[in-house]
Amino acid sequence: MGKSFWRQKRVLITGANGFVGSWLCKRLLDEGASVVAVIRDHIPGANFYRLGLEGRVDIVSGGVEDFVLLSRTVAEYEVESCFHLAAQAVIGVANHSPLSTFEANIRGTWNLLESLRLGKGVRAVVIASSDKAYGSHEKLPYTEDTPLQPLYPYDTSKACADLIARSFFYTFGLHVAVTRFANIYGGGDLNFSRIIPGTIRSVLQGYDPIIRSDGTPERDFIHVDDVVDLYLEIGRRLPADGVSGSVFNGGHNRPVKVLDLVKRIIALSGKKGVRPDIQGKNAGHGEIDRQWLDATKAKKVLGWEPKIALEQGLARTIEWYREALAEDSFK
């Protein structure tokens, strides 16, 4: 095999100790990149530390709300590429604390973009938006041309960051691309309010998994390894025409009902005597009832499409949590 594109590249990752950030960080390190990780909080048991990444990266302690910190980091580490994953990503937290969510997700994004704009030698910036930025639509799946019409704090924060990011390309020529992914899952996600890690933990511990809705909401689910593949492909292609200033959806375009998802997890786990606890609440309070994505553009422009089918990905994910529970990594 030829030399990796990322070998000796200087890469900044915000939110590097998060669920997706940790896997992206590992891949970049394994491909020879020099990684600078902006980390606000030390989270015991986080996948970043399970993978032993803290000894392989340069860690900058602080939040993306700190413009001076970001500017210093970009300049001193001579950043060439950046993946911006830092965010307050829990919908419930956003509903209870919208200001801190806006500070992290909106101010944090413009602070980072401005620090990169003022930096020298920055060739690629990938910004993590979300399918939630689209809001609720009758016509599905979402394409990249679907209007952004968010109604709730988290969704709005991601839409704002999304629009601000692209404005830095069109106004200043900063080579930015934006991703909007479906629901991302895989080992290492410690946010147990999410349906997949929450269900897996409950089932493996012998408890009935809770479904807050009536089980009918539909979502598209994508494994974190496929997500990392798309991030790296976009980072490689920037600043090419058709990539800079663009948005790319990432998903399977295969909606799955929440109840069917939970039943699959139970079956794959091999656990007997557990069943879904369907609480039957409406999807309101910031939850969108039906969402899935058309990723045709990513396939056409980048040659990317997800490789990991849901059944395969769930099996991998269950095994990750089974091992972590056996090691008493979390409760």
Q: What is the DSSP string of 181-238?
A: ESEEE-TT---TTSHHHHHHHHHHTTPPPEESS-S--EE-EEEHHHHHHHHHHHHHHT
Q: Would you say residue 296 lies in a domain?
A: yes
Instruction: Please provide the distance, in angstroms rounded to a whole number, between the alpha carbons at the two ends of the chain.
Output: 42
* DSSP state for residue 105 in the 8-state scheme: I
Number of compact structural domains in the chain? 1
Predicted confidence at residue 331, as pLDDT, reads 54
Q: Would you say residue 55 lies in a domain?
A: yes
Looking at the DSSP assignment, which residues form a beta bridge with residue 125? 82, 176
* Confidence band for 137, pLDDT divided at 50, 70 and 90: very high
As a whole number of angstroms, the distance between CA 131 and CA 91 comes to: 13
- Tell me if 58 sits within 8 A of 228, measured CB to CB: no
Report pLDDT digits (tens) over 140-176. Answer: 999 999 999 999 999 999 999 999 999 999 999 999 9
Token representation of residue 293: 């994505």
What residues make up the domain containing 65? 10-185+223-253+290-308
CB atoms within 10 A of CB 17: 26
Q: Would you say residue 218 lies in a domain?
A: no
Would you list the DSSP string of 116-162?
HHHSSS--EEEEE--GGGGB--SS-SB-TTSPPB--SHHHHHHHHHH
Looking at the DSSP assignment, which residues form a beta bridge with residue 61? 39
Percent of the chain with pLDDT over 90: 89
Catalytic status, residue 152: no
Q: Would you say residue 113 lies in a domain?
A: yes
- Tell me if 74 sits within 8 A of 52, measured CB to CB: no
As a whole number of angstroms, the distance between CA 275 and CA 210 comes to: 9
Predicted confidence at residue 3, as pLDDT, reads 73
> What's the CATH code of the domain at 108?
3.40.50.720
Report pLDDT digits (tens) over 20-64. Answer: 999 999 999 999 999 999 999 888 889 999 999 999 999 999 999
CA distances from 291 to 47, 70, 111, 143, 308 (A): 28, 34, 30, 11, 19
Dihedral in degrees, nearest 10, Cα atoms 114, 123, 172, 131: -70
- Tell me if 215 sits within 8 A of 289, measured CB to CB: no
Q: Would you say residue 273 lies in a domain?
A: no
Catalytic residue among 134, 154, 185, 321: 154
Percent of the chain with pLDDT over 70: 96
Report pLDDT digits (tens) over 187-213. Answer: 999 999 999 999 999 999 999 999 989
Average pLDDT over residues 4-10: 96
Q: Which of 170, 139, 331, 307 is nearest to 247 (CA)?
A: 170
Residue type, 9: K
Sorted by sequence, the CB contacts under 8 Å of residue 257 that are 6+ apart come out as: 215, 216, 217, 218
pTM beyond 0.75, yes or no: yes
Average pLDDT over residues 5-14: 98
pLDDT at 2 over 70: no
Q: Would you say residue 178 lies in a domain?
A: yes
SS3 176: strand
Report pLDDT digits (tens) over 249-260. Answer: 999 999 999 999
Q: Would you say residue 175 lies in a domain?
A: yes
Residue type, 39: I
Predicted confidence at residue 330, as pLDDT, reads 61
Sorted by sequence, the CB contacts under 8 Å of residue 117 that are 6+ apart come out as: 168, 172, 174
Q: Would you say residue 205 lies in a domain?
A: no
Predicted confidence at residue 92, as pLDDT, reads 85
CB atoms within 10 A of CB 246: 22
Average pLDDT over residues 68-72: 98
Average pLDDT over residues 214-236: 97
Report pLDDT digits (tens) over 94-130. Answer: 999 999 999 999 999 999 999 999 998 999 999 999 9
As a whole number of angstroms, the distance between CA 193 and CA 90 comes to: 8
pLDDT at 285 over 70: no
Query: Mean pLDDT over all residues of the chain?
Result: 94
SS3 106: helix
Residue type, 315: A
CB atoms within 10 A of CB 142: 25
Predicted confidence at residue 44, as pLDDT, reads 81
Bond from prior residue into 239 cis (ω within 30 degrees of 0): yes
